[in-house]
């Protein structure tokens, strides 16, 4: 049964189209990972789900209820951990948790017991009674998570919960999330860490420029590509016409599928093989035609390959593009001053 259904969501901020007919179904009880590069629309999607933002058009059903019409009901069911949370710096972590519990009208005794539980579980003893203004990024993230969990929501929505955290804090958060999922909480988490989504989620979607470009379980998505990923580096790729010939050869050889040119690296092409016979005949044919092979290596397909297959670039390249665009815009603004 699906807990969340998003249908044809559209959202623009001025001229920026953040979501383009985004459609997504999240099953009850799943651990759902939303993977996408910077600016792909993850936070916008999650904010709409939490009724903090209205879409321009489209439908949002949560637990069979129209979230756009009944935002109050929906908020009671959801625990939301935003990407950036503004804390009242004067209050201590414990006071902030107490305040949050009161906002949800929790009984005092239940609230305090729950807070003690979470302090324990997230290892917050040594600093929770300090003013939150002095907290590190990792401490803030743990406090945010505790805040989202206080009212024991059946749906937990987390926007990049471990972004920028050290390995220890990340693994504390991961194990708590696994435990909650084991107890029946549906979890929807956004991330741009491939390994986070791969490790935790049983279902996932990749979004890019406000669209879902692939969905399924991480292993299904990788399996669809073929048994192994191959990276071929050939001298002739530096020449457009010769490089094209190599690509044609790859397409002709049986047993190789989905060739994707990785534009970021001049000499490389990535593709996926169903069996290794295809590889030896590729090597033979390339050599016969006089192409110089620098390297031909195999590895298991990763989620980055799924992304590469769908978009023609790696997730890391997509992030670099966003950073570069931001820098260019900044430079242009400075030049105009």
Ligand X SMILES: Nc1ncnc2c1ncn2[C@@H]1O[C@H](COP(=O)(O)OP(=O)(O)OP(=O)(O)O)[C@@H](O)[C@H]1O
Interface with ligand X (CB under 6 A): 13, 16, 18, 36, 38-44, 83, 192
Minimal distance, residue 39 CB to ligand X, in Å: 4
> Is 43 one of the binding residues for Mg ion (CB under 5 A)?
yes
> Is 98 one of the binding residues for Mg ion (CB under 5 A)?
no
> Is 45 one of the binding residues for Mg ion (CB under 5 A)?
no
The answer to whether residues 40 and 213 touch, using CB atoms and an 8 Å cutoff, is: no
Q: Using CB distances below 5 to 8 A depending on partner kind, what does residue 192 bind out of ligand X, Mg ion, none?
A: ligand X
Q: Using CB distances below 5 to 8 A depending on partner kind, what does residue 52 bind out of ligand X, Mg ion, none?
A: none
Minimal distance, residue 248 CB to ligand X, in Å: 36
* Total residues belonging to the chain: 337
Which of residues 52 and 99 has its CB atom nearest to ligand X in the complex?
A: 52
Residues 71-90 that bind Mg ion (CB under 5 A): 83
Q: Using CB distances below 5 to 8 A depending on partner kind, what does residue 15 bind out of ligand X, Mg ion, none?
A: none
Which of residues 43 and 314 has its CB atom nearest to ligand X in the complex?
A: 43
Which of residues 38 and 281 has its CB atom nearest to ligand X in the complex?
A: 38
The answer to whether residues 92 and 84 touch, using CB atoms and an 8 Å cutoff, is: no
Minimal distance, residue 97 CB to Mg ion, in Å: 24
Q: Using CB distances below 5 to 8 A depending on partner kind, what does residue 147 bind out of Mg ion, ligand X, none?
A: none
Minimal distance, residue 145 CB to Mg ion, in Å: 16
Minimal distance, residue 37 CB to ligand X, in Å: 7
The answer to whether residues 18 and 201 touch, using CB atoms and an 8 Å cutoff, is: no
Instruction: Give CA–CA dist 233/230, Å, rounded.
Output: 10
Closest CA to 174 of 156, 161, 188: 161
Which of residues 43 and 311 has its CB atom nearest to Mg ion in the complex?
A: 43
Q: Using CB distances below 5 to 8 A depending on partner kind, what does residue 18 bind out of Mg ion, ligand X, none?
A: ligand X
Instruction: Give CA–CA dist 10/8, Å, rounded.
Output: 6
Q: Beta-strand (E) ranges in 210-273?
A: 211-216, 228-234, 256-261, 268-273
Which of residues 91 and 310 has its CB atom nearest to ligand X in the complex?
A: 310
Minimal distance, residue 40 CB to Mg ion, in Å: 8
Instruction: Give CA–CA dist 129/107, Å, rounded.
Output: 21
Q: Which residues contact 283 (CB under 8 A, 6 or more apart)?
A: 293, 296
- Angstrom CA distances, 212 to 20, 256, 301, stand at 9, 26, 20
Which of residues 251 and 326 has its CB atom nearest to Mg ion in the complex?
A: 326
Closest CA to 38 of 319, 326, 276, 332: 319
Minimal distance, residue 157 CB to Mg ion, in Å: 12
Which of residues 37 and 301 has its CB atom nearest to ligand X in the complex?
A: 37
Residue with tokens 């985004």: 22
Instruction: Give CA–CA dist 22/7, Å, rounded.
Output: 6
Minimal distance, residue 52 CB to ligand X, in Å: 11
Instruction: Give CA–CA dist 239/183, Å, rounded.
Output: 57
Point out the residue whose Cβ comes nearest to Mg ion: 43
Which of residues 214 and 286 has its CB atom nearest to ligand X in the complex?
A: 214
Coil, strand or helix at 320: helix
> Is 191 one of the binding residues for Mg ion (CB under 5 A)?
no
Residue 45 is inside which H or E element, if any?
helix 42-49
Residues that bind Mg ion (CB under 5 A): 42-43, 83
């Amino acid at each position: 049964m699906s807990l969340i259904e998003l249908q044809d969501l559209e959202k623009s901020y001025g001229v920026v189209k953040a979501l383009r007919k985004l459609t997504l179904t999240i099953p009850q009880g799943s651990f759902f990972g939303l993977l996408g590069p910077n600016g792909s629309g993850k936070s916008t999607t999650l904010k709409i789900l939490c009724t903090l933002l209205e879409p321009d058009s489209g439908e949002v059903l949560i637990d069979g209820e129209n979230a756009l019409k009944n935002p109050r009901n929906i908020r009671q069911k959801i625990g939301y951990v935003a990407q950036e949370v503004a804390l009242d710096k004067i209050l201590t972590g414990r006071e902030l948790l107490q305040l949050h519990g009161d906002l949800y009208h929790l009984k005092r005794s239940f609230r305090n017991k729950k807070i003690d539980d979470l302090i324990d579980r997230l290892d917050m003893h040594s600093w929770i009674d300090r003013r939150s203004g002095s907290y590190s990024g990792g401490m803030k993230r743990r406090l945010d998570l505790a805040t989202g969990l206080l009212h024991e929501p059946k749906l937990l929505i987390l926007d990049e919960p471990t972004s920028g955290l050290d390995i220890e804090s990340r693994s504390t958060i991961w194990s708590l999330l696994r435990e909650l999922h084991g107890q029946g909480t549906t979890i929807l988490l956004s991330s741009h860490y491939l390994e986070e989504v791969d490790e935790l989620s049983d279902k996932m979607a990749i979004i890019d420029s406000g669209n879902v470009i692939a969905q399924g379980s991480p292993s299904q998505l990788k399996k669809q590509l073929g048994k192994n990923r191959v990276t071929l580096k050939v001298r002739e790729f530096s020449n457009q016409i010769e490089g094209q010939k190599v690509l044609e050869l790859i397409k002709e050889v049986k047993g190789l599928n989905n060739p994707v040119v990785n534009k970021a690296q001049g000499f490389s092409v990535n593709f996926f093989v169903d069996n290794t016979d295809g590889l030896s005949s590729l090597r033979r044919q390339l050599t016969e035609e006089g192409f110089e092979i620098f390297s031909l290596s195999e590895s298991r397909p990763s989620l980055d390959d799924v992304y590469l297959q769908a978009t023609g670039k790696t997730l890391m390249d997509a992030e670099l593009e966003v950073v570069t665009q931001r820098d260019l815009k900044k430079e242009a603004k400075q030049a105009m001053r």
